[in-house]
Amino acid sequence: MSPDVGDVIAGKYRVERVLGTGGMGVVVAAVHEELEQRVALKVLRHEVIDDEDAVARFAREARAAARIRSEHVARVLDVTTTTSGAPVLVMELLEGCDLERLLQTRGPLATHVAVDLVLEACEGVAAAHAAGVVHRDLKPANLFLAERADGTTAVKVLDFGISKVVATPGATTRDAGVTGAAMILGSPFYMAPEQLASTRDADARADVWSLVVVLFELIAGTVPFDGATIPIVQTRILTAPTPSLAALRNDIPPDIDAVIRHGLEKRLTHRFANVTELARALAPFASLAGAQSIPRIMRLLGGAPSEAATSGPSSVPVFASTIRASSSRAVVGTVLLAATALAAIVFVSSSADRAAKVPAPSAAAASVTAFAPPPQSAMPSDAVFPVPVDAAAPLLVDHSRPRAKVPAAPSGTAGFGGRR
């Protein structure tokens, strides 16, 4: 039986309303009767309570989330059980809506709004990766636009149910996960090629791929690799070229296509190697407010490309030539220098972001590079904060505001100019 309104769970949490039901669990809003603290409870469904894998994944979600300290990851406060023995996660109660619902309600988002939302998601994912946790199921439904007490918003990463913990100090064998080599877990539309081959072997770079897919969807209104069946989707992810955003919308900065194409390279060693690279590549398209996420991500993970990114041939898009070609259209940026140990690249920002009237904004996704990012577009500093949590509310866009600058890579690390 699912929890009903008025039920008291674990002798202290009184159920107020049902928030949602999934294949494994039911999420309800509840209040702690002694502390009068409002929380969310995720209760494992009785239909799967005897499924050892389901119970293990439920426990893994609690342990994984407890390892991560970030405003951009939904907090797990406690674990308990119902009187019938069903496991319960006690989590912070979030007010707002997930990005899937936001997209369904408001349609494709302005580029800078989508980028800002994805950069916030990158903060949460970076904190997870720094703690040795790979999410493996990033998608708009698992990115929640939560309203803070002061009315501003924050993107929070949800549902670490199929996450895995890599070898880090303090990790235990039970943290490693229960995924078999041949098991495919997650949402196929957002899976990297290597994750389709083996969910167990997918590493943090699979999360970066998923973030780029989310970004594409927030801007285009559809995923890049669609299909009527899972085998068709898998085949397209493995073999089909990445669709052009410019072919779907005529009001976006054309150079963001290069970032997305690089983020969705089929070959693992030819795409963004970590969240830091993705965030820095997105900087030219972010608002000043959104760009504040980038130095925090760099502090969590550092600015140097991973070892995997430095091995094998490079298929990096030549952003510098794109910058020069774009500058003839409408130069509205400033010249940015990213100093590195081996190279310094001049970034000329240009190409005003014609964030035309799209159904509504809010977005998320990301893409990195240890090379020169595309030209900047006009980025309002206050267009996203606060974002109305009402998914139907309008989002004002002020293109007169200044744009963000790209943080320089830390000394001794490879920057946008090239690989070490």
- What is the model's pLDDT at position 1? 64
- What is the model's pLDDT at position 293? 95
What are the residue ranges spanned by the domains of the chain?
A: 8-92, 96-348
Cα 339 from Cα 290, distance rounded (Å): 22
| Strand pairing category for 133-134 and 164-165 | antiparallel
Which residues neighbour 330 within 8 Å (Cβ) at sequence distance 6 or greater? Answer: 350, 351, 352
Active-site residue among 137, 159, 203, 353? 137
- What is the model's pLDDT at position 164? 66
DSSP conformation class of 348: E
Cα angle for residues 189, 191, 196 (degrees, 5° grid): 115
Q: What tokens were used for 66?
A: 């407890």
Cα angle for residues 226, 229, 234 (degrees, 5° grid): 60
Check: CB of residue 59 under 8 Å from CB of residue 87.
yes
Cα→Cα distances 337→289, 312, 379, 405, 406, Å: 20, 27, 19, 9, 8
Check: CB of residue 308 under 8 Å from CB of residue 205.
yes
Cα 395 from Cα 112, distance rounded (Å): 12
Is 255 an active-site residue?
no
The CATH class, in words, for 96-348 is: mainly alpha
Query: Could you tell me where the DSSP H helices lie in 222-378?
Result: 230-239, 256-263, 275-282, 288-291, 293-301, 319-326
Which residues neighbour 388 within 8 Å (Cβ) at sequence distance 6 or greater? Answer: 394, 395
Taken in order 153, 155, 159, 160, the sign of the CA dihedral is negative
Task: Name the CATH architecture for the domain at 8-92.
Answer: 2-Layer Sandwich (3.30)
- What is the model's pLDDT at position 100? 96
pLDDT tens per residue across all 420 residues of the chain = 678 899 999 999 999 999 988 777 889 999 999 999 999 999 988 778 878 888 888 887 888 888 888 999 998 898 898 888 888 989 999 999 999 999 999 999 999 999 999 999 999 999 999 988 888 899 999 999 999 989 999 999 998 777 666 644 444 444 444 444 344 566 899 999 999 887 777 889 999 999 999 999 999 999 999 999 999 999 999 999 999 998 999 898 888 999 999 999 999 999 999 999 999 999 999 999 999 999 999 999 876 443 333 333 333 333 333 323 333 333 333 333 333 333 333 333 333 343 333 344 333 333 333 333 333 333 333 333 333 344 433 333 333 334 455 455 444 433 323 333
Kindly report the pTM of this predicted structure: 0.69
